[in-house]
């Protein structure tokens, strides 16, 4: 028994002493020491088991209470993906990684494809100029995608902008544009592409949200509101696929990146605050890599790219939540928008 405990203790950096090495006069302190060590080991093993069991149960729940993985249903060179905002930034990195698996990609964006793409990649990419604030534009682009490439099995709602205004200062048009791009466009693309997925009982819908889904930012309340709403959309869509459309085979994923190098963080009104706060920016390639790994694994769920504690903030005591929000109060300052016309 003592040898077994010694082995476990060594693995976690503790050291036990063989009780036979001491005479009877030393037995009391040694016994207390040994009992404490054993108690720590038991608590450590219990905590580790709890964390592991929680991770397994989370994965089971996220994948519709199914232990089966239907990766075999996916043939990546035979799949068609739609990526909104795929001309540059995170979206372009996502497109490149999809193409590396042989997947054909339709890019819906208001701006043309950047020089980020090579001549070898472009044959698998089709660009459709699309203003995602327009339901008619999205419908026309979707019709063209279906005609040119076939019904998509992957939808990645990546397009997004950021504003830097206080609630009282934001122009109505800037507020409306942000909600149309960051939130309402997701409804429009889902309306277009989900019916074919349901018919085939196969698909993956991925939304790009933010850590702002969990912590509202002063100076970017509109942005935070859309990202929190995307989380509700993700959860509600998952429920409807299971209980209304009887199609749990369709995967749903929401991605919550931290501050990432993009048009949003390059904006002067945001860049200055990030620098003063000492924020370290994620690379768009790293965000895209996490997104594509999730798709290739054919798994549903939430991806948090940043402090793992952030999604749990809403369970904190109110005073602690407010301390966290206060710490971010001056990151977004000034006035401006990253919307492109």
As annotated, the active-site residues are 223, 227
Distance CA 37, CA 30 (A): 10
Contacts of range 258-264, beta carbons closer than 8 Å, 24 or more positions apart: 258/210, 258/211, 258/282, 258/305, 258/306, 258/307, 259/211, 260/90, 260/284, 260/287, 262/89, 262/90, 263/88, 263/89, 263/161, 263/162, 263/338, 264/160, 264/161, 264/162, 264/338
Contacts of range 117-125, beta carbons closer than 8 Å, 24 or more positions apart: 117/92, 121/96, 124/99, 125/95, 125/99
Tokens of residue 277, six digits: 């706060």
Tokens of residue 188, six digits: 């429009």
Contact 264, 208 (CB under 8 A): no
- For 218-228, letters b (16+ CB in 10 Å) and e give bbbbbbbbbbb
Backbone angles phi, psi at 163, to 5 degrees: -115, 160
Contact 113, 127 (CB under 8 A): yes
Backbone angles phi, psi at 253, to 5 degrees: -140, 140
Question: Hey, how many other C-beta atoms are within 10 angstroms of the C-beta on 230?
Answer: 23
- Structural element, H or E, at residue 303: strand 301-305
Q: What is the DSSP letter of 21?
A: G
Q: State the sign of the Cα–Cα–Cα–Cα dihedral 76, 284, 192, 340.
A: negative
Tokens 């504003």 sit at which residue?
Answer: 163
Distance CA 262, CA 181 (A): 16
């Amino acid at each position: 028994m003592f040898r077994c405990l010694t082995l476990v203790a060594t693995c976690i950096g503790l050291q036990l002493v063989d009780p036979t090495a001491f005479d009877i006069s030393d037995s009391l302190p040694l016994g207390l020491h040994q009992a404490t060590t054993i108690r720590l080991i038991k608590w450590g093993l219990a905590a580790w088991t709890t964390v592991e069991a929680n991770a397994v149960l989370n994965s089971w729940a996220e994948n519709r209470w199914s232990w089966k993985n239907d990766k075999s249903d996916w043939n990546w060179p035979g799949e068609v993906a739609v990526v909104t905002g795929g001309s540059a930034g995170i979206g372009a990195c996502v497109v490149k990684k999809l193409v590396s698996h042989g997947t054909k990609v339709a890019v819906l964006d208001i701006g043309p494809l950047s020089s980020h793409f090579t001549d070898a990649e472009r044959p698998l990419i089709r660009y459709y100029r699309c203003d995602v604030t327009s339901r008619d534009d999205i419908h026309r682009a979707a019709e063209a995608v279906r005609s040119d490439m076939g019904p998509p099995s992957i939808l990645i709602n990546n397009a997004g902008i950021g504003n830097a205004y206080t609630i009282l200062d934001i122009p109505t048009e800037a507020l409306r544009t942000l909600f149309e791009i960051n939130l309402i466009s997701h409804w429009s693309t889902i309306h277009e592409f989900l019916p074919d997925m349901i018919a085939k009982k196969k698909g993956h819908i991925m939304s790009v949200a933010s850590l702002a889904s969990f912590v509202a930012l002063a100076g970017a309340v509109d942005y935070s509101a859309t990202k929190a709403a995307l989380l509700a959309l993700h959860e509600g869509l998952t429920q409807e696929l299971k209980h209304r459309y009887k199609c749990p085979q369709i995967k749903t994923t929401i991605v919550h990146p931290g501050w990432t190098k993009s048009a949003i963080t390059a904006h002067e009104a945001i860049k200055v605050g990030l620098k003063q706060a000492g924020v370290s920016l994620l690379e768009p390639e790293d965000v895209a890599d996490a997104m594509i790994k999730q798709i290739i694994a054919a798994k549903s769920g939430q991806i948090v790219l940043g402090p793992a504690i952030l999604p749990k903030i809403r369970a904190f005591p109110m005073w602690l939540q407010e301390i966290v929000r206060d710490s971010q109060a001056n990151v977004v300052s000034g006035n401006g928008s990253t919307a492109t016309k």
